[in-house]
Amino acid sequence: MFDDLKRFDVGSPRQLDWFRQLLDDFLPDGNAMDIRAVPNGSFPMINVARSDEAVHVYVFAAGLDATDLTIDVQDNVLNLRGKRESVIGNNDGERSRPVFRRERVSGDFVRAIALPDGVDADRAEARHAHGVFEIVLPKREELKPRRIDVQAA
């Protein structure tokens, strides 16, 4: 009778993700926010990764040129500002077509990403290729791990 019910351990991240997905499917507009939540339709989407050497921020912004995104760091917050033009419009005076579904976000945007302590914003670099911006924020030298060689006595 209960063969199709799933049992899960509360401490298992994989099964908690399964449970969150189940709740999201059941209550699609439940507005259940957690620390990883992003407002619906946020643009651009981002990934943040950390290594021993630096913090890497990947900004997925198809349709933007390198000059369309303004990047600055202040008080350990990375700010991304820009504008993405709509692909639906009447640039040459023709009547605009009715839109039945719109998934591509357009207009002005601002994203703010809190950075971990210890990044050296003065040495930050940004690259752009194929709609993906990579921002590299090196860690300060004193915070990087150092290997200590053991000497034989």
pLDDT 10s digits, 13-66: 566 677 777 776 766 554 444 434 555 556 888 999 988 889 999 999 888 889
d(CA 145, CA 119): 14
CB 89 within 8 A of CB 131: no
pTM beyond 0.85, yes or no: no
pLDDT at position 99 is 72
Compute CA distances 3 → 6, 15, 151, whole Å.
8, 17, 61
In this structure, how many other beta carbons lie within 10 angstroms of the beta carbon of residue 95? 6
Three-class SS state of 91: coil
